Structure 1
Amino acid sequence: MSFLGYDVILAPMAGVTDVALRALCREQGADICFTEMVSAKGLSFANEKTRHLLALAPGEDKVAVQLFGHEPEVMASQAAWIEQEMGESLAYLDINMGCPARKIVSKGDGSALMKTPDLAAAIVGAVKGAVQHPVTVKFRRGWGPDEETAPQFARQMEAAGADGVTVHGRFALQMYHGSADWDCIRRVKEAVQVPVCGNGDVRSGADAVAMRQRTGCDAMMIARGAEGNPWVFSQVKAALAGNPQPAPPTVAERIAMARRHAQLLQQREGRNIVRMRKHAMWYVAGLPGAANARGRLNHCSSLEDFDAVFDELLEEARLHGAYGQPDACAAMGKR
């Protein structure tokens, strides 16, 4: 089981897979992490905000990068620029053909490319011809309900030169509602010779084992299951290896990880770490006092602000006798 040498991968997520989360997920066993997805058009304008997304964390050796766009020439030129700039730090390039967000698909990017497979193939061919690193494609089951096109689409991407494909088992119009159809991943696996990475609804070690058994996928990509839960990677790696899974984190360990995440962000971005708000919400979900803490977290902007709320949550856990207890939410994979 291997996808370009990697078994368990942190998916690219806009506004989520920052340098801090990547560092914590690698510590917990992720084989490779994606940066946040990057706009090829933004890079072509030499947009510093866009280029900042490609910055590595201290000590980070390799990352994968996902590009989105719909113009073959622009995608190819910016893929070549990324390869030149990142050098040995680049593991491989992925082309986003799966993002269902309205602001992405309205421009013909992301999962909208599943409706124009010839253009999608032209993009893959152009990027593949412009770089030396492997090029993969991430897409969904299809555009709308009862329109599963993933197996055929995968064959077209393979024919265009893709070195591997990642399949999310939902239709684009589903967004993130309902359940991912893992049987679709199996059908894609049966349709192509290149390695296939499965994506969708892996939130625990048991989920990972079930996906592998049901789909035969070569690797798996974890997205929302890692939000506020870097431990999912240690659980998945243990389960796939047939080893006992690590105990779920205690409340104290969960708060400690949230603090580290905030500290890493501060080291990278300075005192204003507003982007930590969403991460903090995920870390504390389900903990005693979390409902009351959400309002305060929404007004935090500095490490000191977050630490104050974390301190209150620890005290709440002590009052409930839950300080050293495993977090039930994480244990059940409900995150």
Structure 2
Amino acid sequence: MVKIGDISLGDFPLLLAPMEDVSDPPFRAVCKAQGADMMYTEFISSEGLIRDAIKSRQKLDIFDYERPVGIQIFGGDEEPMAMSAQIVDATRPDLLDINFGCPVKKVVCKGAGAAILKDVPKMIRLTSAVVRSTRLPVTVKTRLGWDEGSKNIEEVAERLQDAGIRALTIHGRTRTQLYKGSADWTLIGKVKNNPRIKIPIFGNGDVTTPEEALTMKNKYGVDGVMIGRAAIGYPWIFREMKHFFQTGEHLPPPDIEARVAVCREHLRRSVAWKGPVLGILEMRRHYGNYLRGLPHIKDFRTSLVMSKTLEETEEVLDKISVCYEGYEQAASGAPAVV
């Protein structure tokens, strides 16, 4: 049984990654329904929380049906990180996660996210400040290192554990790789199999099929895997992986009725949470993967993106259901990420 503090996650949990502009409550809801064991919010700027920025505060919204759920923060200064940890503590998530892995330029240029990998003592100071400031279990998500010449994750893992974190998620790339090339799970395995490491270690990066998840478990020994981009528009990946773990067989991919139904639920939740304008606008990034693999889908996808109201969008989804009724996707598993 994998545990983070007092949180029990089962024997080999599947975690939904915190993804900016993706891992919002509507998306988390459909992933939870399809078997995600643990989820995280989009990352939240510590500076934004302290300034009471509306977007940052809205990201604190969590709901009981999501639990266990963690709130992720990022920043490059001890005082704001400590203060934001206290704010997060008051919202009563199940844990608090620190982002030391985001590779995007706007975050790194502020000395946050993956930039912290260049200054391990600073990483430990920030982590210690957060641990001291909250009653919640604190976890960290990070990368192998800054670049190919500084893959310091083995040292980082030990020092973070000593600083008081309760679990560590490692993305198998360096910051300079961004999301290019292949994730290196070898170093993740070395961290997990280090006899000094007593906390759960979760692997992340290029886990897109049940077979890859099982390899992470059996070959590298990780305690669970975190799924990110492969879940966008395809929340079924969680239940498919669990079924494969239990039976060694693939579930058939969702039929058109299931795909449209979950897309519709996601859409309605998006509108309910964000409002009729932003809720419609921010669903557009998901349609490509919900409909991935359907032949001659381009015109329908364009209509979805051009729709401006919930009613218009639902009408297009109705037409897709009728047009593709009885269609069966030949290949199993999640569609490629667009």
Other-structure match for 1:238 = 243
Other-structure match for 2:81 = 75
The 1:60–1:45 alpha-carbon spacing in structure 2 relative to 1, beyond 3 Å, is: same
TM-score (norm 1): 0.91
Other-structure match for 1:42 = 48
1:55, 1:190 → 2: CA distance? 36
1:296 aligns with 2:303: yes
Deviations 1:22-67 (A, max 9, x none): 1111111111211111111100001122111111247444421110
1:178, 1:291 → 2: CA distance? 29
Partner AA of 2:257 in structure 1: A
2:206, 2:183 → 1: CA distance? 6
Other-structure match for 1:8 = 14
Partner AA of 2:263 in structure 1: A
Comparing 106-115 and 180-189, the one that deviates more: 180-189
Q: 2:172 aligns with which of 151, 169, 174?
A: 169
Other-structure match for 2:289 = 282
| Paired residues of 2:189 and 2:222 also in contact (CA < 8 A) | yes
Partner AA of 1:226 in structure 2: A
1:52 aligns with 2:58: yes
Comparing 296-305 and 72-81, the one that deviates more: 296-305
Deviations 1:145-189 (A, max 9, x none): 243211111112112221111100011111111111111210121
| Paired residues of 1:288 and 1:313 also in contact (CA < 8 A) | no
Other-structure match for 2:192 = 189
Deviation at residue 253 of structure 1 after TM alignment: 1.7
TM-score (norm 2): 0.91
Deviation at residue 70 of structure 1 after TM alignment: 0.8
Deviation at residue 92 of structure 1 after TM alignment: 0.8
Other-structure match for 1:151 = 154
Q: 2:210 aligns with which of 205, 212, 217?
A: 205
Deviations 1:190-229 (A, max 9, x none): 2322210111111222221111112100111111111001
| Paired residues of 2:103 and 2:178 also in contact (CA < 8 A) | yes
1:251 aligns with 2:253: no
Partner AA of 2:333 in structure 1: A
Partner AA of 2:265 in structure 1: R
The 1:125–1:300 alpha-carbon spacing in structure 2 relative to 1, beyond 3 Å, is: same
| Paired residues of 1:3 and 1:219 also in contact (CA < 8 A) | no
Partner AA of 2:139 in structure 1: T
| Paired residues of 1:182 and 1:215 also in contact (CA < 8 A) | yes
The 1:204–1:12 alpha-carbon spacing in structure 2 relative to 1, beyond 3 Å, is: same
Partner AA of 1:228 in structure 2: G
Partner AA of 2:126 in structure 1: I
2:2, 2:317 → 1: CA distance? 39
For this pair of structures, how many residues does the alignment match? 327
Other-structure match for 1:267 = 272
Other-structure match for 2:132 = 129
| Paired residues of 2:284 and 2:304 also in contact (CA < 8 A) | yes
Partner AA of 1:334 in structure 2: A
| Paired residues of 2:240 and 2:333 also in contact (CA < 8 A) | no
| Paired residues of 1:3 and 1:197 also in contact (CA < 8 A) | no
2:212, 2:309 → 1: CA distance? 36
2:51, 2:299 → 1: CA distance? 43
Partner AA of 1:119 in structure 2: K
1:25, 1:332 → 2: CA distance? 14
